[in-house]
Amino acid sequence: MPSAITAGRVREALEAATEALAAAGVETPRLDAELLLAEATGRDRAPLAAEPEAGVVPDAGRRFSEMVRRRIRREPVAYILGRKGFRRIELAVDRRALVPRPETELLVEIALELEPRTALDIGTGSGAVALALADELPTCRVTATDTSKQALTLARENAERLGINGRVRLEPGTVPEGRSFDLVLANLPYVRDDEWEGLAPEITRYEPREALVAGAEGIEVIATVAPAAVAALAPAGSLAFEVGAGQAGAVAELMLDLGFRQVEGRQDLAGVPRVVLGRMGSG
C-alpha cells in the first residue's frame, strides 16, 4: 500500500489510491477513490476533490487505507460504505443481500404510474423496491417477501431505520396466501448458471449467489413464481418482472400464456428491455 494513502494531502492520497485501484482492475478507480476518501474524512466528495492541497489527518488516512485495501480485493463500494442510494432513500447494505441496482428503479417508476392501492414486492432483498414505493406512494399498502431470512432481516432493519416500518409488511416466503394485490413487482434471480463465472469479482466474490443465479436458462425462478403471482392479482391487476438482457421475449410469452391481456417491455437507461409488464385489465 503506497504511504501517500495513509498520510499527506488529498491529491497524493487520491492519486496513489486511483493507481492502486486501476492496477487491481477496478472500473472506476478515481471515482471510487474519491468516494472512499470522502467517507474516511467525513467530508462530501465534491468539495474534497476540489481541495487537492488539503491535508489528510493520520486517523482518516488509516481508515482510507483500509477501505482501499478492501476495494483492491474488489469488494463493492456499497458494502465498504455500508449503504446505497435507491430512488429517494438510502439503504443499509451488506452481504446478506444484493446491492440494489439503478435499473431496478424502473419497477418503482412503473408502480408510480399505475398507482396501486396494494402492492407485493417478491424477493425484496435489502427492501429496496418495497421501501422506495412506500416512501413515494404513501397511500399504497406494501407487502414484501423473500425466501432468504438474512435478506428479510436486513429489509426489516432498513424499514425501521427509515421510519416506514409500519407501512410495509415483510414476510418470509414468496406469495402470501389468501391476499390479493393490485400490483406484483419482482426482481428475482435471472442469471444463467454458465454466466456466473464470467461476472465481475465484485459480484462473484461478495454478493449472495442464490440472489442472482436462477438455473441453466436464467428464467427458471421467474417461471416458477409467475403462476402464484398471477393467482395473487386483484381483478385487473398488473405484474412486472425485472429480466436479464435477452430474456424479455421469453418472459413476455410466459405472461401471455398465463392470461395477461396486455404485455409490454420497458427499457432501462442503457436501452436494454429490463422489465416485462403484464396487465390483466384493458388498461
Interface with ligand SAM, residue 247, by CB under 6 A: no
DSSP 189: -
Q: How far is the CB of 232 from ligand SAM (least distance, A)?
A: 12
Ramachandran region, residue 42 (left: φ > 0; alpha: ψ -120 to 50; beta: rest): left
Long-range Cβ contact pairs of 93-97 (< 8 A, separation 24 or more)? 93/126, 93/154, 94/154, 95/206, 95/207, 95/208, 96/148, 96/150, 96/151, 96/153, 96/154, 96/208, 97/125, 97/126, 97/148, 97/150, 97/151, 97/154, 97/155, 97/208, 97/211
If the CB atoms of residues 118 and 262 are measured against ligand SAM, the closer one turns out to be 118
Interface pick for ligand SAM out of 98, 111, 219, 280 (rule CB under 6 A): 98
Interface pick for ligand SAM out of 22, 70, 147, 165 (rule CB under 6 A): 147
Query: Contacts with ligand SAM: how many residues (CB under 6 A)?
Result: 24
Interface with ligand SAM, residue 100, by CB under 6 A: yes
Interface pick for ligand SAM out of 97, 120, 251, 280 (rule CB under 6 A): 97
From the list 33-41, 92-100, 195-203, 259-267, the region that binds ligand SAM by CB under 6 A is 92-100
Interface with ligand SAM, residue 151, by CB under 6 A: yes
Helices (H) then strands (E): counts for the chain: 11, 13
Interface with ligand SAM, residue 123, by CB under 6 A: yes
Q: Give the C-alpha distances (Å, rounded to integers) separating 19 from 6, 27, 29, 131, 210.
A: 15, 12, 7, 38, 33
Interface pick for ligand SAM out of 124, 143, 158, 238 (rule CB under 6 A): 124
Interface with ligand SAM, residue 34, by CB under 6 A: no
- CB count within 10 Å of CB 193 equals 13
Q: How far is the CB of 100 from ligand SAM (least distance, A)?
A: 4
Interface with ligand SAM, residue 145, by CB under 6 A: yes
Site string for ligand SAM, 203-232 (x = CB under 6 A): --------xx--------x---x-------
CB 259 within 8 A of CB 220: no
Q: Which residues bind ligand SAM (CB under 6 A)?
A: 97-98, 100, 104, 122-126, 128-129, 145-148, 151, 174, 187-189, 211-212, 221, 225
